[in-house]
Chain A
Amino acid sequence: MPDTSPKSRTLPRTGIKASALTFAVLTLCGLLAGCGAGTSGSAGDKVELQFSWWGNADRAAATNEAVDLFERRHPNIEVQTSFSSYNSYIQKLATQAAGGNAPDVMQLDYRQISQYASSGLLLPLGDRPEVSTEKVGSGMLRTGQVRGTQYAIPMGRTSQVLVYDSAEWQRAGVSEPRLDWTWQDWSAAMRELNENTDQAGSTDPGWSEDWFEVWLRGRGKSLYTDSGELGFDKSDLAKFWSFTNELSQRGAVSPARQTTQIDGSAANMPFGRGNAASGITWDSAVGGFQALIGDSLRLAPLPSGPDGTPGQYFKPSMLVGVSANSPHPEEAAQLVDFLINDPKAGDVLGVSRGMPVNQDIRENITPSLSGLDERIADFQQRLEGKLLDPPSAPPAGDLALQTTFQRDYDHVGFELRSPRRMAEQFLTSVRSELQP
């Protein structure tokens, strides 16, 4: 190409060189993303901590307020916070952790910690003097342990719950759930609701591993044993799916084309959409239904096993852990302790992460709760002392099995495969996911 521009000829070559260099440096910077941002070093004399979590705007406001308090208490520490929705958070954190850039303090899910801990990404917190766990119940505390080592501390607790529209149930003449009702009572109620209201009694619980777990525990079994092996066999799952699917086919619980749309959000649950008289969820997620159903929303425990064994349990709604690579483990541990144990932080955080695990804080804030929060606190109060200890953290591959479970049940619901056949297929997936 002929050089037609007279200007380019007179451009000083040092200029070209300089701009080329700038360009190259900028490009490299962009590529490596290592310039300026992302380093959790110290700003001046201050120690800088990264703290990230998933959640919504309400939780963000509460968290930032608590972090401000912490910074005032520790003028030498500055905390950078960031948050996003659950799904993108999980993926972002995995990528950061893989690159060795995990935030110093991170909110973790029950189903994440095994993987993170066994990969050496989490700092053992049990022997850190900065973190006190006295006020966290021992059963709850155990959920943050992997092979006996405390890697994460629960931040809040939640439990499985049956949410229902009491007005609807009364109209249908169905007596409201009792504390010790069994799955048999439940299915009778579902049928009665269906006959008297012309809609499904409940969301079909067959879609989720979480509700299967409650059913299993009611029969004295578990999803996983303490050593991370499978705690049930093919016939258990086949029995559960036959039970739920039969109810679904006769209309007592939601039909497959509604069940398949469930994604955890209240708006996509048959109960939330007004297609069923009740739903099964976590008590930390009840808020979404309150907006859709209104004041007649009530909470009840999930049914227990045939002999009254309760299947549900207190689960950590989320945990908090410290990165093993953090350059400031001491300060990070201080922040963890503050979030869990500080009374002022407890006031500010409220129930934004579920009911606080710290017993004192829980008792402190309970009187000030109102509306739905009060009802959730009540609900948990009623269960106190009646439930069995939570299972220890599920093994690493379980996150993938959750989605597999729903997909497999789809095939049962649409009558493409028998419950037995799909149970078999699910166990094949389990075996390939849980292999070390």
Chain B
Amino acid sequence: MNVEAPDQRLSEKPGVERPAGAPKTEGTRRKGKREGAAWVFLSPWLLGAAVLTLTPMLASLYLSFTEYDLFTAPKWVGLDNYVHMFTQDPRYWRSAVNTLVYVLVAVPLQLAFALAAALALNSIGRGKGFYRSAFYAPSLLGASMSIALVWRALFNDGGTVDDLLSSIGVNMGGWVNQPGWALLVVALLTIWQFGAPMVIFLAGLQQVPGELYEAAEVDGAGRLRRFRSVTLPMLSPVLFFNLVLQTIQAFQVFTPAFTVSGGRGGPADSTLFYTLYLYDRGFTASHMGYAAAMAWVLLVVIGIVTALLFRSSRSWVFYNDKG
């Protein structure tokens, strides 16, 4: 992520134009030539960043101050979209609360599962490869529409899960079609995809020096104590990394809710997540300006939450090199 500017000196020589056929031996010219090549190879990325990321972002910032229905020219309305969002749109708040609940449920559970699986896999001897890929597979599949559809079918009225529960006497009549349970089903789908953080945890676990465990054992620490006093602190940077990443992702959850609820965020708005409502405003109701404003608020909120996480990390993340 941390892309540094290729070279300070480049900015002093705009245009990167140099005479052709520069002799190889001449130092500055050769450097210039290499810089030129660097620019050439960077250009697709730079172009992409400028045209595909920066421009749309600026455009969306502008649109967030307009009423824009895609067909007629955007009409400047100042802060109206933001004001309406915060003061007159109960569904907006509903979507914000849903998303927050989802983040608070799904992220800790997903990380807990990932860590538990990583710990188990770390101590396994035979069949390591198999189990690792088996646990990782859901992460590869899970983001897809088709798995979300399968999920919906499983938890639907008369679906497999429903039938199984009925056979032991728990008659639910479906999970995804009841306001109290649908959110949980969507969260379960996310938790089930714990593979990516698990792999990172595994890598982290293998970095923990064996001597520490040996020393702890010599001091008479039991398994739980070793986990609490050695594994967790040593793993805290990795835990932090996963936490930040998964939180940011969870705020933007879309596909599972969209698919499980048939695109509406139902039943009774119980899975109306922020991005789902944003999509609805933009593409169903043609209020692109309002949707853009929602996107910017989301960006700011994610920024704040991430900053808070970083600040809190000072008190619980332990970096080995700090001594």
Contacts and interface: CB of A to CB of B under 8 A. Distances in A.
A403 B40 CA distance: 49
B33 A257 contact: no
B236 interface: no
A118 B15 CA distance: 48
A243 interface: no
B286 A400 contact: yes
B177 interface: yes
B34 A256 contact: no
A416 B33 contact: no
Contacts of B51: 31
Interface string B223-258: 000000000000000000000000000000000000
B269 A407 contact: yes
Contact of A115 (B43, B69, B88): B69
Contacts of B90: 425
Given A27-B48, A406-B264, A416 B285 contact: no
Interface in B1-47: 20-21, 24, 33-34, 36-37, 40, 43-44, 47
B285 A20 contact: no
B204 interface: no
A174 interface: no
A311 B40 CA distance: 67
B297 to A, nearest CB: 19
Contacts of B52: 31
Given A119-B71, A261-B157, A410 B48 contact: no
A410 B40 contact: no
Contacts of A397: 285
A257 B286 contact: no
Per DSSP, are chain A's interface residues mostly helix, strand or loop, or mixed? helix
Nearest to A402: B284
Contacts of B178: 257, 414
Contacts of B131: none
A94 B264 contact: no
B47 A27 contact: yes
A172 B20 CA distance: 92
A202 interface: no
Nearest to A417: B268
A97 B70 contact: yes
B78 interface: no
Interface residues of A, number: 44
A98 B43 contact: no
B37 A16 contact: yes
B266 A407 contact: yes
A414 B268 contact: yes
Interface string B250-287: 00000000000011111111000000000010011110
B72 interface: yes
Contacts of A116: 71
Contacts of B24: 9
Contacts of A31: 47, 51-52
Given A23-B43, A399-B284, A257 B173 contact: yes
B177 A258 contact: yes
Given A16-B40, A31-B52, A97-B70, A260 B267 contact: yes
Contacts of A368: none
Contacts of B142: none
A416 B34 contact: no
Contact of B71 (A16, A23, A121): A121
Interface of A: 3, 8-9, 13, 16, 20, 23-24, 27-28, 31, 87, 91, 94-95, 97-98, 115-116, 119, 121, 256-258, 260-261, 263, 268, 273, 396-397, 399-400, 403, 406-407, 410-411, 413-414, 416, 425, 432-433
7 contacts: A13-B21, A27-B43, A27-B44, A257-B177, A396-B286, A400-B286, A411-B268
Please list the 8 inter-chain residue pairs (A to B) with the smallest Cβ-Cβ separation, ordered nearest first.
A400-B285, A119-B71, A260-B267, A410-B268, A98-B70, A20-B40, A257-B177, A263-B262
Given A9-B24, A23-B40, 13 more contacts: A24-B43, A27-B48, A94-B286, A116-B71, A119-B69, A121-B71, A256-B267, A273-B158, A399-B284, A407-B268, A410-B268, A414-B267, A432-B88
